Copies of this chain bind each other. A is one copy, B any other.
Amino acid sequence: MNQDKIILAHGSGGKLSSDLLKNIFLKDFRNPILEKLDDMATLNLNGVKVAFTTDSYVVNPIFFNGGDIGKLAICGTVNDISMSGAVPKYISAAFVIEEGFPVDDLKKITGSMRKAAEEAGVEIVTGDTKVVEKGSADKIFINTAGIGLIEPGIDISGSNAKVGDKVILSGTIGDHGIAIMSQREGLEFKTGLKSDCSPLNHLVQDMLRVSKEIRCLRDPTRGGLATILNEIAKQSGVSICIEEEKIPVKEGVGGACEMLGFDPLYVANEGKLIAVVDVADTEKVLEAIRKNKYGRDSQIIGEIVESPKGKVLLKTLLGARRIIDVLVGEQLPRIC
């Protein structure tokens, strides 16, 4: 580590997050499950295959167009579990609340959690509440951990991509990050942008019903599409080539990105997934995705190629190819 102090970029999901993981967490907590570097751990509990994951949510503002910190805390963890092909079942919810936080806001948040949990079909089965003095936390932070069941025969991991596989993106990118940012900048009424925050578990099950050849699933949250594709390329030791013109971006999101100086490839999503699929099954998987309300705008955006290994190539609208790297620095602090 070059820094001697933690900076915001350590939480970006990009380069410094990955350094922190490698230099501190992996060093101390080293074990084969953690080393797979998937968004969830895959456990064998006396013969039952289980996905286990955790995330803390510190999003600011806590209420935003399209959701709130409660909905996000359920959807984010449901989605991380689902990216292993697991069916999410049980969620824990732990709250760190700042003294003076309005009880009515807490009720709104738990109401959103209930609704999101109902839609996803998960139960919140255990929890914890800590309260800290005024000024010791910013309003409310929520941690959710979750458990899902993985059916026998399913083996989905960021390390399974093979040359020739196709890359599917389930919809437009940048919606969540730009909704949050435009709200922070006071632009929300102009843009009307809405976070895409949604539980994707039913979508994943729709995909698994039509194909057993889904190799990798990831939700492009912090760090955005570019960072997550880079992670898959590195984990699988392949190259990923995507086409700029195939990547759906909403007009308002594109415009806000220009205005605010962001590249949508690096902006967080909370209701989208990337799937790497055997070429033979691509069309039927795409069809299944498009039938689900969260996958209507899905597109085949590229394919897995041989080299340069561990890199992501973008074929631009003008036909040039450029390497796109992981997110460096911090683009949007506290986006989730």
Contacts and interface: CB of A to CB of B under 8 A. Distances in A.
A11 B7 CA distance: 29
Interface string A47-84: 11010111111101000000000000000000000000
Interface string A94-124: 1111111111101100110110010000011
Interface in A8-49: 8-11, 17, 20-21, 24-25, 27-29, 31, 33-34, 40-41, 43, 45-48
B137 A137 contact: yes
B126 A40 contact: yes
B147 A106 contact: no
Given A101-B6, A102-B5, A110-B29, A94 B56 contact: yes
A20 B132 contact: no
A96 B99 contact: no
A46 B58 CA distance: 34
A41 B125 contact: yes
Contact of A113 (B28, B46, B52): B28
A246 interface: no
Contact of A131 (B6, B31, B128, B137): B6
A57 B129 CA distance: 10
A286 B106 CA distance: 44
A10 to B, nearest CB: 5
Interface of A: 1, 3-11, 17, 20-21, 24-25, 27-29, 31, 33-34, 40-41, 43, 45-48, 50, 52-58, 60, 89-90, 92-104, 106-107, 110-111, 113-114, 117, 123-133, 135-138, 141, 143, 145, 147, 149, 333-334, 336
